Amino acid sequence: MNFLKTLGINANNYGASTGLKWLSTCGNGQFDISSPADGKAIASVYQCSKQDYEDVITTAQDAFKVWRKVPAPNRGDIVRQIGNKLRDYKQPLGELVSYEMGKSLQEGLGEVQEMIDICDFAVGLSRQLDGSTLHSERPLHRMYDQYHPLGIVGVVSAFNFPVAVWAWNAMISAICGNVTVWKPSEKTPLTAIACQNILKDVLQQNDLPEGIFSIVIGEGDVIGESMLHDKRVPLMSVTGSTRVGRHAGASVAARFGKSILELGGNNAAIFTPNANLKVAIPATVFGAVGTAGQRCTSTRRVIIHEDMYEQVKEVLVKAYSGLKIGNPMDENNHVGPLIDKQAVKMFTEALTKAQAQGGKLLCGGEVLSGEGYESGCYVQPAIVEAENHFDMVQHETFAPILYLMKYSGEVEDAIAIQNDVVQGLSSTIFTDHLREAEIFLSHWGSDCGIANINIGTSGAEIGGAFGGEKETGGGRESGSDAWKAYMRRQTNTINYSTELPLAQGIKFDI
Ligand code: UN1
């Protein structure tokens, strides 16, 4: 396990850092982390205390006063250096992501690549934080709007993308002039500690103060709650389940904070009679079983035209029979483990319920045991024939369960089924027919934040804005103009005349 040493992971690690130094609380309980890949203990993390949290927040407040005055392109230069450091550490960090979280090594490396890409994106963006120039109705007046940093941005990330989601938030937020306090998932704190160690060199080499990038590792209902209710944290970016996000959104709104919510998905792929199966089948299988079905964007439902339903069903079941399930660090395997045994229990219970509601299990569903499966976290991805209104189909189960369903009639009928869930993250249609594709993308088409043609529901590029509608939370992160959510807008009107004309033609003579 050379990668642990390279990344500065010890047997016991501290749970709070202000960037350059780790705070040394060790009497507040600890998280013992083992790998879902082989069940072996990796390392422990001392939980951050309330006092650590206070220290982190006050240090971050001070750092903000310095960081916001650094010109944005110079902040971009720091992010450029972080991107370069991530390039140096791509292999070990990708390995740790794979080992701690359980996704395949290819996907672990891909996740680090997303971090590098968002750094590059943020560097360019640091020269483009633009506002509009507007025309005033008053003579010799000028109006424009500009964007200012907010202060401390709290980032709560989930286990499934333990490092990339932080980078999307932290790097964009940093070039905007904010400082970040990150609470990673309790299930994957080691990758977060590794990122903090990677950053440290850059901060040191540039003589930057403590508090620009901080980390607090603790229980959600203690540290997470503190952040949600803390007025010193004007923006909270939360990735997690709809249950978590509903509470987070309401708590932050109650103190008039801003939030970016990236919550559950119930992503569907539509197969029309004009689908090219050579594209559609692998895209759907990867979407459903990649990261063992634990992406927010994982494909959960396939809506197939009745004329080709039996054929697609047969091909998908056949493709599933060829899946290699095993150690994620072995590149020959397609599917790694679920994050923990609790997730395995959710998977088997969801399958039992789906069948009780009328679903028919077509393949998979077993929990694997024996050599190579000692962690107890490996399952055989399942395909279930179902109907959209089944309660289980309406819920997001964070596991590799794919529900197949039929539609008859036109593409609008398939879209109606697709939209008939409470979530609205990602969606796709497989068709070579222009009219079907355009209807899917039209304003009466997919109601999701992400709508694709002839690619899967997962694997979004960082250049686009990432997020979704309805119970997915409405937030947007990553590319495009998602940066605006990390800043406050100010509208400025400047009078360079010697008169005082009032807006709307109001006369006020004194
Ligand atoms: C997530 O699952 O929370 O589109 C993020 C994708 C990745 C990000 C997923 N780029 O699958």
pLDDT tens readout for residues 61-97:
999 999 999 999 999 999 999 999 999 999 999 999 9
Atom of ligand 1 nearest to the CA of 158: 3
Residue 139's nearest CA partner among 483, 510, 493, 436 is 493
| Gyration radius from the chain CA atoms | 24
Separation CA 178–CA 60 (nearest Å) = 9
Distance in Å, CA 296 to ligand 1 centroid: 6
Q: Is 263 in the pocket of ligand 1 (CB under 6 A)?
A: no
Cα–ligand 1 centroid distance for 332 (angstroms): 22
At 53, the pLDDT band (50, 70, 90 cuts) reads very high
Percent of the chain with pLDDT over 70: 100
Atom of ligand 1 nearest to the CA of 290: 11
pLDDT greater than 90 at residue 220: no
Angstrom CA distances, 128 to 76, 119, 131, 477, stand at 11, 14, 9, 17
Whether ligand 1 lies within 6 angstroms of the CB of 131 is answered as no
For the stretch 173-213, pLDDT in tens is 999 999 999 999 999 999 999 999 999 999 999 999 999 99
Calculate how far, in angstroms, residue 72's C-alpha sits from the geometric centre of ligand 1: 28
Is the distance from CB of 94 to CB of 329 less than 8 angstroms?
no
| Ligand 1 pocket, residue 267 CB under 6 Å | no
Any atom of ligand 1 within 6 Å of the Cβ of 472: no
Question: What atom of ligand 1 comes closest to residue 239's alpha carbon?
Answer: 3
Residues 492 and 143 sit within 8 Å (Cβ to Cβ): yes
How far apart are alpha carbons 259 and 237 in whole angstroms?
A: 6
| Phi, psi dihedrals of residue 428, rounded to the nearest 5° | -150, 155
φ, ψ for residue 404, nearest 5 deg: -100, 140
Tell me the catalytic residues: 262
Does residue 347 have a pLDDT over 90? yes
Decide: 161 in ligand 1 pocket, CB within 6 A: yes
Pocket of ligand 1 contains residue 295 by CB under 6 Å: yes
Give the residue whose CA is nearest to atom 7 of ligand 1.
459
Say if residues 214 and 59 touch (Cβ distance below 8 Å): yes
Homologous superfamily of 267-464? Aldehyde Dehydrogenase; Chain A, domain 2 (3.40.309.10)
Instruction: Tell me the mean pLDDT in the region 96-109.
Output: 98
Per-domain residue ranges for the chain?
2-263+473-490, 267-464
166 Cβ closer than 6 Å to some ligand 1 atom: no
pTM given for the model = 0.97
Q: What is the largest CA-CA distance in the chain?
A: 90
**Helices 164-175 & 105-125 angle (0-180, nearest 10):** 10
Is ipTM > 0.85 here? yes
Residue nearest to atom 1 of ligand 1 (CA): 296
CA 238 to ligand 1 centroid distance, Å: 14
Q: Are 471 and 265 in contact (CB under 8 A)?
A: no
CA–centroid distance, residue 102 to ligand 1 (Å): 15
* Residue 1 clears pLDDT 90, i.e. is over it: no
Residue 302 pLDDT class (50, 70, 90 cuts) = very high
111 Cα: distance to centroid of ligand 1 (angstroms): 9
- Measured from the Cα of 458, ligand 1's closest atom is 11
What does the alpha-carbon distance between residue 267 and residue 425 come to, in Å, rounded to a whole number?
Answer: 7
Please tell me the total number of residues recorded for the chain in this structure: 510
| Domain 2-263+473-490 fold | Aldehyde Dehydrogenase; Chain A, domain 1 (3.40.605)
Quick: pLDDT tens for 115-126: 999 999 999 999
